């Protein structure tokens, strides 16, 4: 799944996200507790946790495109 996300982010947004570990800072931990692999990919949060936190629309739409394409590729079995 990481390779799928990386490939789609590179195609859609021109970036190749690096796989890093985020242990408990996301809801992924709930999936992992059930033995289900989980990954996080999202827009850049500006002013995260502060007043006027926001993401840009371009970043949001790009993230949605990467999610949709990655889900499709995963479900169609094109992980290569």
The pLDDT tens digits for 17-64 are 988 876 667 888 888 899 988 889 999 889 988 999 999 999 999 999
Write down the pLDDT at residue 63. Answer: 96
What are 11's two structure tokens?
């195609």
Residue 57 is given by DSSP the state H
| Residue boundaries of the structural domains of the chain | 2-76
Distance, CA of 12 to chain centre: 13
Cβ-proximal residues to 2 (8 Å cutoff; 6+ apart), any chain? 19, 39
Task: Please determine, for residue 2, whether its predicted confidence score (pLDDT) is greater than 60.
Answer: yes
């Amino acid at each position: 799944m990481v390779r799928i996300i990386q490939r789609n982010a590179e195609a859609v947004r021109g970036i190749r996200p690096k796989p890093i570990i985020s242990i408990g800072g996301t809801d992924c931990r709930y999936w992992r507790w059930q033995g289900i692999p989980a990954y996080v990919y999202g827009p850049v949060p500006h002013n995260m946790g502060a007043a006027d936190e926001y993401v840009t629309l371009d970043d949001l739409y790009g993230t949605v495109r990467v999610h949709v394409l990655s889900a499709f590729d995963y479900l169609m079995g094109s992980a290569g």
